[in-house]
Structure 1
Amino acid sequence: MVLDEFDRGILAILQRDNLTSQRTIGEAVNLSAPAVQRRIKKMTEAGIIQANVAIVDPTALGHAITIFVEVEIISETSGQIEAAKREFETMPEVQQCYYVTGEADFVLVILVPSMPAYEALTKKLFFGNNNVKKFRTFVAMDRIKVGLQVPTA
């Protein structure tokens, strides 16, 4: 699907607030509400709009610590990489997981309520995994910007 300026305008608004009414979006991008609705449906069916979610403050739910972890694995066979992806994907503490180039094989963003909880998670995810060579932990001291908006321009 090729996105035009109307689609990009709609996406820019939805990324800021997906509860914006279609009438308000239409006024902002100079389309009717039914045209906006059709375009949103088409972008959803094409997989461009992947989900409509609420972004929640993790501290409000008791997960005050954000940790970034670089993970280096021992064996980089296709099967081992896929197994690592599946394991990281199933852990609720792992908010984001990226398979990357460079010294590390994966970069994880993890939310935990405490350092003892992170220690328990490391025993399960890293020390208990025969394919993890090493991992490096970076603890966030402050959340400056948390954005999930993809540039539409």
Structure 2
Amino acid sequence: MNQDHVEGAFSEAKGTIKEGIGNLTGDAKTEAEGKVDQFAGRAQQTWGDARDAIDSAAATAAEAVSEAASHAPGKFRDTAESVKATASQVGSKVYEAGSSAGQTIASTVKEQPLLSLIGVAAIGYLAGYLLHSPSSPFTAEPEPRYRRAIRRWS
């Protein structure tokens, strides 16, 4: 668990309260702000999950390289140590870039909630279209016409 999980949970709880207050008072603006806060909180928690996964993968890779380096003779050991150091640097750079991206996304969602909501809706629509398009590998093969005709006449 990292800071993104905690902040995301707080934002989501705050959004739930705002939405409830807006619903009780009939204030559509407060209700919408609550929904946006909930969405931002969930997004931040998802980002926290991704950061945890990246950290775990980097640690696993570093362990594997370290294990290989301990069993490798002379010249290969130096190469393995170099690869380990490079992997560690890459992991930290990815972590920093991800953290920066998460902060940028969070601030954008807070500053421009409607634009963020439209962007997420567009991404969701695009993902749905790609997953359900005829050329998608996830779409089931349509039944050939001749089989439909045979089934109809049977």
Structure 1 or 2: more strand by fraction: 1
Q: TM-score range by the shorter chain?
A: under 0.3
Q: Which has the higher helix share?
A: 2
CA radius of gyration, larger in: 2
Asked which structure has the greater RCO (Cα within 8 Å, sep 6+), the reply is 1
